[in-house]
């Protein structure tokens, strides 16, 4: 069994360098980004992706939020006894393909098997190391009054795709996860727009939560306009039906960028030039100093506070 599992990984992800050792090696110089994520999404296959693609995208995108180019990824697997090898093969294959798409390799890993019932088929933990170019200082703490807020495309697709698949809703076929590695798009952005202050991928808790985190870290007030936030009609309809708010639904292939006002149009153009940012939009601005607050201008023109995500709107979405 152990040999079989090892073969599944070796055939798809290759082996680290040097093969057979407990630690892989890489060369680096300067500032590195380091990040980790645990993935427990249910179900493990969903429209537009699977837990393997999700695990690679999540880690690549977390590195991208620091402006880092991914150098290497590690993957730890917790497998439930009885997981069909075909499912594992499909997931590991998906990881390999996504890693290739992101221009990175999975260079080290570990596998544990737990008894039947003790994991939902499988959990995956990925970590990533990325290189931050000289002069790049991206942080959630860097938003300044006057800055412009952009999002790289419509929000809520991932959350609704997983939820629909899990619950067997009729509209599931219309809604597809946006799960995508954004390293290349972010590198394009940084190359063209030196005045990028903040990057954040709005995953668990969605756009509203990401903006609240940034507002708090930077001690600013962010104001966004509801009508400027792109939402797919199918996602909006599903949210209405289920009483959910797309602003709090998870995304796995979107990036929030906060940039100097004079560079906002350049930033928008660069995002739109990339496949993963074709529907990018300016959605608001940093209004001023505050204790950390997000204001939403509703479609009707009124304002309301867009609070932090309270409770778990959608459990096990990633």
Q: Does 10 bind a second copy (CB under 8 A)?
A: no
DSSP 163-217: HHHHHT-GGGGG--------HHHHHHHHHH-TTEEEEE---TTHHHHHHHHHHHH
Residue 127 binds a second copy, judged by CB under 8 A: yes
- In the complex, the smallest distance separating the C-beta of residue 53 from a second copy, rounded to whole angstroms, is 17
Nearer to a second copy, 39 or 46 (CB): 39
User: DSSP letters of 286-310?
Assistant: EEEE-SSEEEEE-TTS-EEE-----
Helix axes 157-167, 233-242, angle to 10 degrees: 50
**Nearest CB to a second copy, comparing residues 34 and 173:** 34
Query: Given the complex with a second copy, which of 28 and 305 has the nearer CB atom?
Result: 28
- Contacting a second copy (CB under 8 A), which of 51, 54, 102, 132? 132
Nearer to a second copy among residue 146 and residue 315 (C-beta): 315
CB 190 within 8 A of CB 65: no
Q: Which is nearer to a second copy, 28 or 241 (CB)?
A: 28
CA distances from 109 to 3, 85, 92, 102, 281 (A): 14, 18, 12, 18, 38
Query: What tokens were used for 213?
Result: 């985190």
Of 27 and 275, CB closest to a second copy:
27
Write the CB contacts of 115 (distance below 8 Å, at least 6 apart in sequence): 80, 81
Quote the CA–CA distance of 158 and 165 in Å, as a whole number: 11
Separation of alpha carbons 64 and 138, rounded Å: 10
Task: Report phi then psi at 190, rounded to 5.
Answer: -65, -35
Instruction: Tell me if residue 8 falls in helix, strand or coil.
Output: helix
With CB under 8 A as the contact rule, the residue among 32, 237, 242, 266 that binds a second copy is 32
Q: Is 40 in the site for a second copy (CB under 8 A)?
A: yes
Restricted to residues 106-125, the positions that interact with a second copy (CB under 8 A) are: 107-114, 117-120, 123, 125
Taking the complex as a whole, the smallest distance from the CB of residue 68 to a second copy amounts, in Å, to 7
Residues 307 and 292: their CA atoms lie apart, in Å, by 10
> Per rule CB under 8 A, is residue 63 in the interface with a second copy?
yes
Reading the block at residue 60, the tokens are: 């690549």
Q: How far is the CB of 108 from a second copy (least distance, A)?
A: 5
The DSSP letter of residue 133 is P
Q: Is 316 in the site for a second copy (CB under 8 A)?
A: yes
* The only residue of 13, 129, 151, 155 in contact with a second copy, by rule CB under 8 A: 129
Q: Segment 260-279, which members bind a second copy (CB under 8 A)?
A: none
Choose the stretch contacting a second copy; rule: CB under 8 A; options: 94-102, 136-144, 157-165, 282-290: 136-144
In angstroms, what is the minimal distance from the CB of 24 to a second copy? Answer: 5
Task: Give the whole-angstrom CA distance, residue 212 versus residue 206.
Answer: 10
Residue 120 CB, shortest distance to a second copy, in Å, is 6
Binding site for a second copy (CB under 8 A): 2, 18-40, 62-63, 65-66, 68, 72, 74-78, 107-114, 117-120, 123, 125, 127-130, 132, 139-141, 200-201, 213, 216-217, 312, 315-316
């Amino acid at each position: 069994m152990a040999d079989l599992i090892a073969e599944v990984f070796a055939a798809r992800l290759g082996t680290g360098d040097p093969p057979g050792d407990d630690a892989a090696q890489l060369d680096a110089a300067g500032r590195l980004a380091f990040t980790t994520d645990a993935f427990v999404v249910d179900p493990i296959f969903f429209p537009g992706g699977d837990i393997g693609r999700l695990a690679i995208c999540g880690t690549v995108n977390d590195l991208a939020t620091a402006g880092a180019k991914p150098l290497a990824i590690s993957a730890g697997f917790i497998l439930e006894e009885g997981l069909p090898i075909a499912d594992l093969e499909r997931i590991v294959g998906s990881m390999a393909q996504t890693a290739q798409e992101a221009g990175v390799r999975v260079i080290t890993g570990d596998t544990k098997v737990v008894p039947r019932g003790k994991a939902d088929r499988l959990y995956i933990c990925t970590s990533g190391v990325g290189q931050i170019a000289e002069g790049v200082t991206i942080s959630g703490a860097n938003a300044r009054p006057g800055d412009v807020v952009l999002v790289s495309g419509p929000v809520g697709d991932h959350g609704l795709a997983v939820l629909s698949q899990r619950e067997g809703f009729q509209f599931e076929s219309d809604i597809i996860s946006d799960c995508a590695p954004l390293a290349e798009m972010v590198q394009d952005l940084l190359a063209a727009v030196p005045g990028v202050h903040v990057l954040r991928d709005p995953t668990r808790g969605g756009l509203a939560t990401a903006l609240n985190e940034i507002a708090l870290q930077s001690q600013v007030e962010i104001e966004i306009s509801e009508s400027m936030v792109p939402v797919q009609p199918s996602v909006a309809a599903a949210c209405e039906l289920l009483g959910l708010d797309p602003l709090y639904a998870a995304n796995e292939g979107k990036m929030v960028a906060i940039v100097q006002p004079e560079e906002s149009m350049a930033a928008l153009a660069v995002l739109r030039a990339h496949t993963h940012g074709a529907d990018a939009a300016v959605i608001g601005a940093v209004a001023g100093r505050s204790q950390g607050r997000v204001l939403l201008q509703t479609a009707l023109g009124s304002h309301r506070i867009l609070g932090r995500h309270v409770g778990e709107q959608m459990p096990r979405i990633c």
